[in-house]
Amino acid sequence: MKTVTTYLDTRGLGHGNHTFTDVVVTGIAPGGGLFVPESLPHLTLPEILAFSAMPYWRRAAAVFTRCGVDLPSDRIDLLMRQAYGAQWSDERIAVIEEVVAGMHVLELWHGPTSAFKDMALQCMPQFFSEAISRKQEREELSDDILILVATSGDTGKAALDGFADRPHTRIVVFYPVNGVSDIQRLQMVTQQGDNVAVFGVRGNFDDCQSAVKEAFADEEFRFWLHTHAGVRLSSANSINWGRLMPQIVYYVSAYADMVASGGVVAGEPMDVCVPTGNFGNILGAYYAREMGVPIGRLICASNENNVLADFIATGVYDISDRDFVTTPSPSMDILISSNLERLLYHLAGPEAVRGWMGELAQNKRFQIDRETFKTMREFMVGDYVSNDESLATVKRVFDETGYLMDPHTAVAWEVAERTHDHNPMLVVSTAHWAKFGADVLRALYAVPYAAPLPAELDELSGVDVLAKVQEIAPTAALVPRALAELDSAKVRFASTVDSGRDGIVAVVEDWLS
Ligand SMILES: *Cc1c(COP(=O)(O)O)cnc(C)c1O
């Protein structure tokens, strides 16, 4: 009989005994903390290296099984075959390219929505619907689940694709009408599936997110959902442990592939550099390191919203006097980096975390103690890249190597170059360039971030922009078919709503009726 891992929470307020499927369905821990595993498995070097001969789904199943997921192994195998199957454009799933000697790019965007969010969101909904059907069988739960998502771009589409037609789940996504790119909007409003809906919110991302939060907190709405539609609310955001666990897999997998290709000597360390927003992706690397993967330094790359780079440099997390900046890497535009709380828990324990999170809520600032700071600095490095620097990096790397990267990846590449020493470097690439085609075009024409494009380029629609980039950058990865065909895809969701709780509640009730 295999052992089942139980989960604790970062603020020490829960009463334990949650299993993996519990924490996936529950999302956030009671008391506002985040779920963390009570223990991690240790993977031996031969065990890690054996991954290179396995298909990706089997690598994922091996990690999930070793991490004590409370499902039978054959069931985990089946779910992972579905998560990492034919919907990926490359059967290797997490693909490594050595772009210049010693600098390797880990491409995490071969999934159906062309962004790294697919790595987790093709996987987590499988566990979600499995967990719900088991709970319903045991009569611990009668309702199905309604996922509400407020998105500034990548998460909405990846969540729609992951949950589409998944049993026992429905999903409604809200995006700011004026806050997502052409491509991102088209990707969402053309989504297939009987259990999905998408609405534009007249306002910016903050309006959108606050309205969804208000709906979540609304008892009357929850009661209506339960009695009239047989659903209860849940969320799929990146603090859900079900999104983190799949992100451990690709670091184990990458190390095995790096050894197999001669990029690193077995047992020797590689460094990883991750373009970071909510700290989820880089936390996957932290856990892989804790589980025995030879990772040297974890390098955290930020854009102009550089609260994390400052924190790693000083031990002070301070948003009291910090404005939100817009950047060409919008998926990293964040002030409160939620998953950092999990790292702090592992370094300093629940009492310390409770104190720091209290200070953050009250004073918009906290400072970690010297001991914790010292421990963190033994393996974490941070730096940031300005808007114009990130676009210049896209162009420079393309001119020098023929490899075209998106602006998020460029942030990590630039920081990786600055920090690269004797260890092989793994630069994590989080989006296909075509998802951010307009800014990539700007980069290739050396137009600064805030300046207008030349008139003849400015007129191009989303999909024409991609064709233009492909024309001037013939060595770039091809535009994924799903993106190239967006202009001719049928728009299923054209409605917009006013921001605020009332608008959102009304359209959800109407959709479910
Ligand atoms: C979400 C996202 C990130 C940030 O990842 P975190 O796990 O939030 O740190 C970076 N790049 C892209 C393209 C993303 O979609």
Q: SS3 string of 223-269?
A: HHHHHHHCEEEECCCCCCHHHHHHHHHHHHHHHHHHHHCCCCCCCCC
**Helix/strand/coil for 317:** strand
Nearest residue by C-alpha to atom 4 in ligand 1:
277
Residue 2 is predicted with a pLDDT of: 66
Structure pTM?
0.95
From the CA of 278, give the closest atom in ligand 1: 8
Quick check: CB of 435 below 6 Å from ligand 1?
no
Residue 231 is predicted with a pLDDT of: 95
pLDDT along the chain (513 residues), means of 10: 85 87 88 92 98 98 96 96 97 98 98 96 94 90 91 90 95 90 91 97 85 89 95 88 97 98 98 96 98 98 97 97 90 90 98 97 97 98 98 98 98 98 97 94 94 89 91 96 92 93 94 94
Residue 458 is predicted with a pLDDT of: 87
Residue 45 is predicted with a pLDDT of: 98
Give yes or no for a contact between 273 and 299, defined as CB atoms under 8 angstroms apart.
yes
Could you tell me the distance, in angstroms and rounded to a whole number, from the CA of residue 333 to the centre of ligand 1? 9
Residue 161 is predicted with a pLDDT of: 96
Residue 1 is predicted with a pLDDT of: 47
Quick check: CB of 253 below 6 Å from ligand 1?
no
Q: In what order do the strands lie in the sheet with 196-202?
A: 231-234, 144-150, 169-176, 196-202, 496-498
Q: Enumerate the β-bridge partners of residue 360.
A: none
Residue 23 is predicted with a pLDDT of: 93
Give yes or no for a contact between 341 and 286, defined as CB atoms under 8 angstroms apart.
no
Could you tell me the distance, in angstroms and rounded to a whole number, from the CA of residue 141 to the centre of ligand 1? 33
**Helix/strand/coil for 176:** strand
Please name the fold of domain 123-237+489-513.
Rossmann fold (3.40.50)
From the CA of 275, give the closest atom in ligand 1: 10
Q: What is the DSSP string of 359-390?
A: HHHHHSEEE--HHHHHHHHTTEEEEE--HHHH
Residue 361 is predicted with a pLDDT of: 92
Quick check: CB of 154 below 6 Å from ligand 1?
yes
Same fold, 95-113+242-429 and 123-237+489-513: yes
CA distance 175 to 310: 30
Structure tokens at 493: 């969701």
Quick check: CB of 114 below 6 Å from ligand 1?
no
Structurally, at CATH architecture level, domain 95-113+242-429 sits in 3-Layer(aba) Sandwich (3.40)
Nearest residue by C-alpha to atom 1 in ligand 1:
331
Could you tell me the distance, in angstroms and rounded to a whole number, from the CA of residue 150 to the centre of ligand 1? 15
From the CA of 154, give the closest atom in ligand 1: 15
Domain residue spans in the chain?
A: 95-113+242-429, 123-237+489-513, 434-479
Could you tell me the distance, in angstroms and rounded to a whole number, from the CA of residue 69 to the centre of ligand 1? 25
Could you tell me the distance, in angstroms and rounded to a whole number, from the CA of residue 46 to the centre of ligand 1? 31
From the CA of 435, give the closest atom in ligand 1: 13
Long-range pairs of 351-360 with CB within 8 A, sequence gap ≥ 24: 351/12, 353/10, 353/11, 353/12, 353/33, 354/11, 354/12, 354/13, 356/317, 357/11, 357/32, 357/33, 360/317, 360/319, 360/336
Could you tell me the distance, in angstroms and rounded to a whole number, from the CA of residue 277 to the centre of ligand 1? 5
Quick check: CB of 276 below 6 Å from ligand 1?
yes
